[in-house]
Structure 1
């Protein structure tokens, strides 16, 4: 055990060169008139109500109270994760979040209620991740890993966190808060799920850290009796601190043997009161706790003036001599000037650690890794297989009065110039996609259509051939009508009806040309006077998939990037991982940049696979610059990532992410011209949809792939510029929301 203590002491020496102790202040935590509310109007909920709290440096403070009384909110305010509506907080002599505080950062060790651990990391990798955040040396992390493994009875360090029991995971979470030996330990329910023997060992270690190393410890616990080992306990109820004093004084005052009974007494005394003032005890021992009522009103400003002299250790180290110099230079500095002026520039070593973490999490989760790359390929394959193909096996009722009007008349397969049963000759040219079902009369065919048995009725009159023969000199109306082919359609499905009409018209053109050719006439003499020559772009028979493919590729990349980055951040938020990283000093900008970086490489892989599938497997042509097409698609993926970041900032759970992602799809893509031309919209709506993030990009990509256009065309460079504008706008909006939503977690 002596070796363990020596290891801890030597480690402490090393850590103090990185996180200097703030001198000149005997208060670890000082809170005055703290008020925190959630909601607005009638739905306002007061979580903290004018709370005062004093924690002496180098002491253990037990914060007791029922669930929902505001303990966790108070702790999150202490580590700079949330801001107060009113009141003041000093932590280690500085306001949390100020440049010189080191809180959030290496001066605080924070253990949230949640496990807040990466399940796919080993214990050692977990410690190295947070060690990398604090910029600690590998030798120190290894020594602390060995020491804490013995102290907390941890499993082997190569065990994955997700394979541990609940109690073991809780101990690992505790180790993460302890291992960098911070000035202040804030532990939210550290002993939940821990056996009594290990709980006793943990409290002994906290006492040792407090007595021998002068560290301040704030512990919340449901096991009220274990708080006897704290120097001071504070009892909270409904956002107010009922009392703070030593356990001995409280037990002696009420002459009770149990702190639980004392807590009950204070709750009974508090019933019926609506004041936000704290209850005070006469005869309290002020040697253990400064009297709250006698603190001078100006103490907070004086504390800040005395102690606003330590540099921010979160991204670099500092020697003892330089700290003494800074103490002199910064004496009398008003810390109000430093609040919220944290450097906006990301710290390189923290960025590297976060990016490495993101890659490891992706590669370790094999299922998610495969889904990330296979789902876009699967989506594009399904779209190409199901969309744009011609419908087949369409049943059409054929009512041919030419056959039924004469005894023994049957269809012939004549190919010469013979005016006989031309209706049958015409039907031979009808597409094979139509199944011809004969009916005796029109009424039966129409009834079959009403019942959904056929898609329509094709009716030939009894004198169709004779009247067709008289076409050159027939001028009477009844002759013109008599040689018509009457069609009754089921137009409930516009696409099916359009295909059937096209096939019937094409069949008639082929039939007339072939018959005229057989009779020695010019086949073109019977053609319509409307001729479609070779198209400017595309082909005469351009499949619908070529129109759809550009929009489909952008939709897949955009949606995958949006959902993946939003889900990743929100899951980390729900599990407490984001909260813990931010409490360790990670800036939100660093988290955003690291996620953008790691997700970008994933998006590049997805884009490459989709282009390979579209161009090589499904033979979608790209007539323009392939690199330009890829650039437009990647820009849209970045737009999706930025939108995902905004959703992650706004939403607190996956339900919100799913809802906003689904709500985003309809206006962005259905109206953006993927499945239907924008020209089909009304004039005013057509102008509005060009303001959507993907409309211009889809048009640009379609122009590159089908028309072969380049950046010299306004449609193409307009799509690029609109994408860049959306990226910039969404990032700025993210920063604005983060700035005003301080309770993001």
Structure 2
């Protein structure tokens, strides 16, 4: 059918069945309206055989008459066969043939007028009563034809004609071919779903944006206001000890003075501070002697020049960042002291290690979000979101019996799955584009490699997520079990793929499992592209 013919038939059926506006959503219609829409969907393509189960239930007499009139017209003008089950016996007078059924047995089948004449009754209902009484008297009558029936007690049949075997065979053969018209219809169905529920796709993309914003704004950032206890027993004027304390960035470290070492250490033990510093009585003089004339420094001078640290690393991140800020402060302190004593390279004199060149990354911003967490989390995100979407759409279709109705209408399984994959790919393209815009445009994350290769890598990762989500939805029947399985798989993948801890720490015998993860290799490639600037070669 072309579009013009479809619109014409829709308009005709809307008038006959008194259907609501086309903009109305079927699930929000009343029961009677939904039944009439179902009838219209059944008849719009004018099949050779139409089977209707009580189509006139819940409709008024005028509409019932119009429905029967339309069905009679179909049989007379188009040669279609219509089989109707009904409890309204008298409306079956319009049928060419009537079969009365009771308890799964056809009692009698003939033309309505012939039945009323044979049993000398004025109504079909009286004929049915006589047949039931006769059937109850002799249930073992072998002349009765036994058939099964779902809940109906009588059946109206109009223009029963045999369906040729070659028609059935032709239909079966054609259904095996890929029909792009049916695929387009499925794509249109998804488009209508998204158009009617825009909040679904908006929330999908919004979750991605919120996740990336949280990742960039929270993870890997400097920590401010870490509480550190200080017991400074350095003799007056405490010149070097105070210089060291003032060299530490007070934005990150907040110092709290204590009168004795016990109270300072107890503040760490009791959780009030994460770190405690203790300067010995002769720290300034001993440290100056140790730096300016190390060979004359005694063991006592070395001991007095030490800064004793007491750490609480119950929160490992705060503990490590505290040490980092102290070391940065110590470097500043040594630069200041070197300038005072006329040795600008003082730190180099006491430190044998020297970093000559850093090829990839930034030592000063070691915990940068997208150097440390960004690349693996971005890969994980573009795997997890399409996985959830693919599984959600398929399980929803199975739960609502939409997929069964689609298959009954003639759509084959490979056509349905093709449309499902195409829709998920289109949505995933938007996911990758939005993710890259947020990361590399909005947050201006440094990227050493090719953005095209990054896009291709992330897009291929979405295809993996779509496939895994589809597999879960086909294996598991319920939404809850699918979601739990996907989240469980995601947690396992994160543990073994180098997101939480480097791959180099994983035992050799477990590496084969690690590299079976769908994100292990992509994470390595993503880091190589973003930080090292490598390409596919």
Structures share a fold, TM > 0.5?
yes
How many residue pairs match? The answer is 495
Unaligned runs of 5+ in 2: 109-124, 150-162
1:447 aligns with 2:325: no
Task: Quote the residue 2:182 is aligned against.
Answer: 350
Distance in structure 2 (CA, Å) of the matches to 1:137 and 1:284: 50
Tell me how far 1:208 sits from its aligned partner: 3.5
Pick one of 319, 336, 361 that aligns with 1:538. 361
Task: Quote the residue 1:282 is aligned against.
Answer: 141
Cα 1:281–1:441 shift into 2, 3 Å: farther
Task: Quote the residue 1:359 is aligned against.
Answer: 191
Cα 1:505–1:250 shift into 2, 3 Å: same
Render the CA deviation track for 1:577-630: whole Å, top value 9, x for unaligned: 221111111011111111222222222222112112211222222212221111
Pick one of 316, 323, 328 that aligns with 1:494. 316
Partner of 2:47: helix, strand, or coil? Answer: coil
Distance in structure 1 (CA, Å) of the matches to 2:451 and 2:302: 55
CA contact under 8 A between 2:421 and 2:466: conserved in structure 1?
yes
Task: Quote the residue 2:15 is aligned against.
Answer: 150
In the TM superposition, 1:263-282 aligns within 5 A as: 281-282=140-141
Distance in structure 2 (CA, Å) of the matches to 1:187 and 1:438: 88
Task: Quote the residue 2:159 is aligned against.
Answer: none
Task: Quote the residue 1:392 is aligned against.
Answer: 224
CA contact under 8 A between 1:592 and 1:645: conserved in structure 2?
no
- Tell me the TM-score normalized by structure 2: 0.82
Pick one of 535, 556, 559 that aligns with 2:381. 556
Cα 1:532–1:158 shift into 2, 3 Å: same
Pick one of 294, 298, 310 that aligns with 2:167. 310
Partner of 2:317: helix, strand, or coil? Answer: helix
In the TM superposition, 1:135-534 aligns within 5 A as: 136-161=1-26, 164-187=29-52, 194-195=58-59, 197=61, 200-201=64-65, 204=68, 208=72, 212=76, 213=79, 215-217=81-83, 219=85, 229=92, 231-232=98-99, 243-246=105-108, 251-252=129-130, 254-255=132-133, 281-282=140-141, 284-286=143-145, 308-310=165-167, 345-402=177-234, 409=236, 420-432=238-250, 433-471=252-290, 472-473=294-295, 476-521=298-343, 522-534=345-357
Q: Once superposed, what is the RMSD of the aligned Cα atoms?
A: 3.4
Task: Quote the residue 1:655 is aligned against.
Answer: 480
Tell me how far 1:228 sits from its aligned partner: 9.1
CA contact under 8 A between 2:194 and 2:200: conserved in structure 1?
yes
CA contact under 8 A between 2:175 and 2:412: conserved in structure 1?
no
Partner of 2:276: helix, strand, or coil? Answer: strand
- Tell me the TM-score normalized by structure 1: 0.60
Tell me how far 1:374 sits from its aligned partner: 2.7
Identify, as 1 or 2, the structure richer in helix. 2
Render the CA deviation track for 1:516-552: whole Å, top value 9, x for unaligned: 2211124244442112222122222342422322222
Partner of 1:428: helix, strand, or coil? Answer: helix
CA contact under 8 A between 2:75 and 2:82: conserved in structure 1?
no
Distance in structure 2 (CA, Å) of the matches to 1:484 and 1:643: 57
Tell me how far 1:670 sits from its aligned partner: 3.9
Cα 1:525–1:164 shift into 2, 3 Å: closer
